[in-house]
Amino acid sequence: MNRSAPEARRGSARRGLGTLLVLVFAVTVDGVDLALLTPTPHADDLVEFAVRGAPAEWLRLDTTTTPVLAITGPDGATWRRSAFLYQSCAVGAAPDAIDVVGELELRLRHAPRVPGRHAWRLLAPDGAVVAEGALVVAAARGPVGPLRISPANPRLLALADGTPFIAIGCNIAWAKGPDRLANFARYFAAFAAAGGNHARLWLSSWCGQIESATPDRYRLDQAWLIDQVLALARRHGLRVTIVLDNHHDLIEGLCFPYGADLVARRRAFFAATPGEQYARRLRYVLARWGADDSVLAWELFNEVDLACTDLDACLAWLRGVGGLLGRLDQDHRLRTVSWCDAYSWEPLAELPGLDLVHVHRYVQEHVARDEEGRMATRDGVEMLVIQAERTNRKTRPFCFAEVGYQGSERVNPGNDADRSGLLLRQQAWTGLMLGGYGSGMNWWWDVYVDRNGLWDQYRGLAAAVRRVDWRDAGLAPLTPNPGSALRVLGWQSQSQALLWPHPRADTWYAHLVAGRARPRLTREVAIRLGGMRPDSPFSVHQLDTVSGDVRASGEIRSDADGMVTLILPIAITDLALHVELKK
């Protein structure tokens, strides 16, 4: 094809930081051009482009037949971003409605991640260059890049530059109501204000799933909805784990076009080698959201063992899909899956193609048919301790990705009784204190947390996390002390510790069902902690686990063997201890 002479894009010069000018210039062919939709882009932005003048045959959902943006940064790294079919929408007048308002067009998204001049070429589906130019990117305003497993501590996560990321998380899987986006905005704002930084979002038939009843016919209104949700997440500083599929939609056949009945859907979907229909959808998802660094991880399936009861078939499918995602995802985001049965998930922890382990554990008091099942979860902390003892034997970071009272949106006696969020707070702390990469994640964000104004229950944990130097490679979770009336959980290295002393009698069941007052110490209790730097001074801060405020501070000194003695005050409740080496 013949190229026109280079010319500056109309209206493309915009003033950036200081005297920096952001310039996009291009040459075009046959009226095809690339328009920058992100004004004054920075290295930490998700930069969006629109393909102008695209011929009708390019407007396809299959991203293997759309143009590609080949872009090379000043660091020499080259990326190939596929164009995706886009249609602008707006919140509809009817409850939960979305109205299509724009024509079909092709868009592209890229995360620059480094400042400077980025040269680009727009390639037609046949590989011919149809436009080329450059994008000048200003310096980032914050940490950049996708999350990785921390190089300092393989139990934890970090940004690409090593900045630690401790996930204070809650499930915010969908929103309903007259305006779903307004509800998402309210959830995200309240959670972020309390220190939350991680949400788990489903692509579900009723909110966000791009699949329809027909293979390869994607619901662009739902894709637009997820665009807006991720934009809200970026605005509030949240990272999002996106759950690509779920057992409910597969079982019910809702927006799950892989067979006419459950048997056919299971056979087609859970093939050991992913089918082309699945691969096409995955390519579209990556083209649209793959460059978005607000995405923490891809969760391949929610509770896959509920959808496919053949364990071997599940594992074979996960190997195939995890490998496919690893090959297609040039940003190499973390991959995970969740498993319903907490006692048979171990094969997942060693499976190639997965990076994180997601464990689900619910209080079974109001749904278990047997007394043994009910007794096992009456201590909402101990039930996670038992699970973590097995999880900590594995090498991958783990998270209690769903916790809380088992029930339904309309019938949940546990949530009804626990209006102050006692279990929510205790399990959030437990999830991290046992060695997870983040907090335990309550499931009931809308009908429980939001309805009862409990977002602030995350504030204390978030404040405590900010006090710890998570770059410390020596940090490791304590082994829970058995047999004592006072359970001590936490993280420790030679120079610091974050401890949560929890009376074993302080359970949701004892307080909410048995009607006993929450226990308080009647005398001072000493905690002896070994492994600290010998013969060294330490500061000790008593933290309120609800607010994160410092109740009191003092100083201690370790002995020649590195032992320190911490004295808990009388009548403690909701207390944590932060111990740090004095500089």
If asked whether residues 133 and 153 sit together in one domain, one would say no
Given 137, 157, 187, the domain boundary residue is 137
Total structural domains in the chain?
Answer: 3
Q: Supply the CATH number for residue 96's domain.
A: 2.60.40.10
Quickly tell me which residue has 């970026």 as its tokens: 234
Residue 2 lies in a domain: no
Q: What is the pLDDT along the chain (583 residues), one digit of tens a residue?
A: 333 322 222 233 322 333 333 444 444 567 899 999 999 999 999 999 999 999 999 999 999 999 999 999 999 999 999 999 999 999 988 888 999 999 999 999 999 999 999 999 999 999 999 999 999 999 999 889 999 999 999 999 999 999 999 999 999 999 998 899 999 999 999 999 999 999 999 999 999 999 999 999 999 999 999 999 999 999 999 999 999 999 999 999 999 999 999 999 999 999 999 999 999 999 999 999 999 999 999 999 999 989 998 888 999 999 999 999 999 999 999 999 998 876 677 777 788 899 999 999 999 999 998 999 899 999 999 999 998 887 766 678 999 999 999 999 999 999 999 999 999 999 999 999 999 999 999 999 999 999 999 999 999 999 999 999 999 999 999 998 888 899 999 999 999 999 999 999 999 999 999 999 999 888 889 999 999 999 999 999 999 999 999 999 999 999 999 999 999 988 778 999 999 999 8
If asked whether residues 261 and 316 sit together in one domain, one would say yes
Q: Supply the CATH number for residue 564's domain.
A: 2.60.40
Residue 446 lies in a domain: yes
Q: Supply the CATH number for residue 246's domain.
A: 3.20.20.80
If asked whether residues 403 and 280 sit together in one domain, one would say yes
Give the range of the structural domain holding residue 129, as residue numbers without chain letter.
7-137
Q: Give dist(CA 389, CA 218) in Å, integer.
A: 43
If asked whether residues 129 and 161 sit together in one domain, one would say no
If asked whether residues 189 and 113 sit together in one domain, one would say no
If asked whether residues 110 and 175 sit together in one domain, one would say no
Q: Give dist(CA 493, CA 156) in Å, integer.
A: 15
**Under a CB-based contact definition with an 8 Å cutoff, are residues 173 and 201 in contact?**
yes
If asked whether residues 281 and 154 sit together in one domain, one would say yes
Instruction: Give the CA distances from residue 52 to residues 30, 32, 106, 351, in Å, rounded to whole numbers and listed in that order.
Output: 11, 6, 8, 44
pLDDT value at position 407? 96
Given 137, 167, 184, the domain boundary residue is 137
Residue 476 lies in a domain: no
If asked whether residues 152 and 60 sit together in one domain, one would say no
Residue 479 lies in a domain: no
If asked whether residues 388 and 258 sit together in one domain, one would say yes
Secondary structure class of 199 (helix, strand, coil): strand
Residue 49 lies in a domain: yes
Residue 429 lies in a domain: yes
Secondary structure class of 496 (helix, strand, coil): strand
If asked whether residues 424 and 280 sit together in one domain, one would say yes
Residue 266 lies in a domain: yes
If asked whether residues 75 and 172 sit together in one domain, one would say no
Secondary structure class of 543 (helix, strand, coil): strand
Q: Give dist(CA 561, CA 558) in Å, integer.
A: 8
Residue 473 lies in a domain: no
Instruction: Give the CA distances from residue 388 to residues 34, 147, 306, 383, 394, in Å, rounded to whole numbers and listed in that order.
Output: 51, 23, 22, 9, 10
Nearest alpha carbon to residue 81 among 60, 111, 103: 111
Given 118, 137, 156, the domain boundary residue is 137
Burial 450-474 (b: 16+ CB within 10 A, else e): bebebbbbbbbbbbbbeebebebee
Q: Give dist(CA 441, CA 453) in Å, integer.
A: 16
If asked whether residues 353 and 277 sit together in one domain, one would say yes
